[in-house]
Each structure stands twice: as C-alpha cells, then as structure tokens.
Amino acid sequence: MAKLCVSPTATSVKDLLGALFGNDVEVSDGTAVDPAGGYIANYISDDDKPICLCVANIEMVAYSGSIMMMIPKGGADDAVESKELTEVMQECYYEVVNILTRAVMSGTSEHLRLEKVYPPGTKTELVAELGDDVETVAFKVDVPGYGPGELTFILM
C-alpha cells in the first residue's frame, strides 16, 4: 500500500518545535509511547479517515503545554507527578500537535488535519483502524527549561 503521509524526522520535528519552544529544543530517537497510556492526537484525511496518530507521554504534554504558556517548571513537574494536567496545558499541547501536522505532510501526501487529542485510556481503537501496514517513529523531545518527553507517530 502506498504511504498516505510522510515519515517525520528528528530534523523536521526539531524545526517545527524550535519555532515554538526556541532553538535549544533537542529531538532525538526515542522510545515508543504505548497508546493505551498516552495522549493520542488523531490526524485525519479530508474524508475523516484516521491516517496518522501522534502519541505522547504525560511529560511531553505537560512540558510542551507549560512552555507555551510560561507555566513554571515546578507547576509542570507537579502536574506530571499528580497525573493531573491543567486544561491550559492540554489546550496548548493541542496547538503543538496541530503544528506537528506539517511534519507528516508533503506536497504529494494526503492532506491531514488534527481531529482531536484523546486522553490516556481512550480511543485506543484508532491504532487498529490504521491497520497492520503501519510505520512507527518515536522521538525524545527535550523541552528547554522543562525536561524530556516522548512522542510516537504511527503512520499509514
């Protein structure tokens, strides 16, 4: 089956996140985040079919959401420890993964848009909807001044 989207690279993710977080953001190969315990961003085609998922651990959501609103690191760390993210952190993370849509599209790929970000333990059936012929690409993202988080793209 022909790929419907582009495989993101550490460079493409770093370039996009650098525009948001500053140029000292570091992106490297990471460990895949289990969709059952991660925040699932669902990227869909123009006909509303899931094409790509971006799964993040709680650290990625808390730290990237916090840097966007300049929430102090201590507040982000507290949210991670308590596993209770503020609404603001989650809303800002939505904007982060909305920007990351550009990492999985090209001039010849399917046009994608962010449908929604689902909290851990919900919508894990989206992984099965992508089918068996998927590619998984995982990144560790060091959010400047906050710490590391993990992102995993699951692509058709």
- What is the pTM for the complete model shown? 0.94
Contact status, residue 73 vs residue 50, Cβ threshold 8 Å? no
**2-58: per-residue pLDDT in tens?**
578 999 999 999 999 999 999 899 999 999 999 999 999 999 999 999 999 999 999
What domains, with CATH codes, occur in the chain?
10-155 (3.40.1550.10)
* Residue 13 identity (one-letter amino acid): V
According to DSSP, the β-strands at 135-143 and 50-56 are unpaired
Residues 64-101: pLDDT tens digits? 999 999 999 999 999 999 999 999 999 999 999 999 99
Q: How many CB atoms lie within 10 A of CB 41?
A: 26
